[in-house]
Structure 1
Amino acid sequence: MSSRHTTTIAGSLLTASFSAVMILSFTAVADDTGPESGKGGKAVDEAPAGVRLTTELPERISVDNSSEKASITATVKNGGSKESDSIRLLVVGFDGLRVKNVEGCTAIAAKDLPEGSNSGFSCAVGKLAADASKSYDVDATFDLGKTGKICLPVQDAAGKKTFWQQGPVPFGTTNPSPNAPATPLLLGTDNQPAAPGGDELPRTGAGDDVLPLGAAGAALLAAGAAGLWWTGRRRPRPS
């Protein structure tokens, strides 16, 4: 076999190997959700003795740059020593993060959504045994030109008490990847859009570019008839 022919084959194999490495790398980015975290969570109403309810979200998610689709796992846990009464988990999206579906859960009507949110689902968890957890697959979209937040409250079945609330906590990146197939986002990070003038995030509504937990709390308490919750109170306006 001539040395020229040998060189051509070797070059083709090298190109194929490089392409395979690139594909595997992108697949790893898309599938890597990382460990789960309770970042942005806090206890609200006191849970029954022996019951300790919390939630977790993945530290990292990936958004498809073409479809804007993202998958998120929302987990509710009972880290206590006793079984809980019937509880429910709510999954609510804000700004650029829109919750499209939560497996086994019911959509919250648009008129009953809290101020500033764009979507939400209510999940009837039922009783949760001691040291047990239950996870839900969340289908979402993320507009990478905006910030995006998610919130996971855990309530009693009637929605009168909130034992735990994670968020609204942001997902985002300070290093956008517009030319890649997917953009990895980190929990607890404000999104920085990849666009001219991206140093200033676009407004998504009057006054909701920054949504304090307390302000969101008042909005959801006002929707008590729909069984929605939240923590905190609106700051009194000066007279």
Structure 2
Amino acid sequence: MSSRRITTVAGMVGALVVLLATAAGAEDQGPASSKGGKAVDEAPSGVELTTTLPEKISVENSSEETAITATVKNDGSEGSGEIRLLVVGFDGLTVNDVPGCSAIAEGDLPEGANSGFACAIEGLAAGAVESYDVSASFDLGKTGKICLPVQSGDGGKTYWQQGPVPFGTSNPSPSAPATPLLLGTDNQPVGPGGEELPRTGVSSGALGAAGLSLMAIGAAGYWWSSRRRIVD
């Protein structure tokens, strides 16, 4: 086989591997969900902004690294104008990077948050969607929460806020390379006699239905009321 043909075949195989890896990663996260989301301030007429997070993420047990897709969309009939999406981590979930977005200074983070990024969006047309790849780490010994507020461009209003909503698991995999976590789910240890993972979510009695809403760390809107203007 000629070197040219070998190179061509190798390139095709490499592309196929990348394609399969991308498809697998998307499949691992499952369908998108707006669980824990609520409208806060009234949006401009004809604008309907919401966000979604994956139903499932997978945390590598060795590195504690994970990837999350954060999506904002406009289901309204008019363009949104200038807005910004914030991606904020709490407790054991730390947001390490969101390409194309700016890190929020530590002093500007809301109480209880450990990290955050602000993503400026010039405008979302009616029906448009914008997605961001979030690199994060998750300490499996702690509760981990994430929050996605959508604000006006100057931070004066919060049109929508998803979370802080927890990730947790009811099916731990202590011997596996990775632990799957489900959005809005309390962590449960391995059954009697089995190896037990650290808890990553609060108990159902402490969280309950409130944990599936914005009551996990306070009512929507109020959470951002003291720190509306973070970074432009």
Provide TM-score, normalisation by structure 1: 0.74
Structure 1 residue 218, shift from structure 2 partner: 4.2
Structure 1 residue 192, shift from structure 2 partner: 3.9
Structure 2 CA distance for aligned equivalents of residues 200 and 140 of structure 1: 15
1:220 aligned to which of 195, 219, 224: 224
Q: CA RMSD in A?
A: 2.8
- Say which SS state the counterpart of residue 220 (structure 1) adopts: helix
Structure 2 CA distance for aligned equivalents of residues 222 and 41 of structure 1: 20
2:120 aligned to which of 124, 128, 131: 124
Matches within 5 A, 1:57-68: 57-68=53-64
Aligned length: 196
Provide TM-score, normalisation by structure 2: 0.76
- The one-letter code of the counterpart of 2:74 is N
Distance 1:185 1:82, change over 3 A: same
- Say which SS state the counterpart of residue 136 (structure 2) adopts: strand
Q: Which residue matches 2:10?
A: none
- The one-letter code of the counterpart of 1:33 is Q
- Say which SS state the counterpart of residue 111 (structure 1) adopts: helix
Structure 1 residue 167, shift from structure 2 partner: 0.3
- Say which SS state the counterpart of residue 218 (structure 2) adopts: helix
1:163 aligned to which of 137, 159, 162: 159
Identity %: 66
Matches within 5 A, 1:54-93: 54-93=50-89
Q: Which residue matches 2:174?
A: 178
Q: Which residue matches 1:141?
A: 137
Structure 1 residue 28, shift from structure 2 partner: 5.8
Deviations 1:54-80 (A, max 9, x none): 000000110001000000000000001
Q: Which residue matches 2:13?
A: none
Structure 1 residue 198, shift from structure 2 partner: 5.3
Q: Which residue matches 1:113?
A: 109
Q: Which residue matches 1:9?
A: none
- The one-letter code of the counterpart of 1:36 is A
Structure 1 CA distance for aligned equivalents of residues 86 and 115 of structure 2: 11
- The one-letter code of the counterpart of 1:136 is Y
- Say which SS state the counterpart of residue 124 (structure 2) adopts: coil
Extract unaligned runs of 5+ from structure 1.
1-26, 203-209, 229-239
Distance 1:100 1:157, change over 3 A: same
**Rg larger for:** 1
Distance 1:187 1:201, change over 3 A: closer
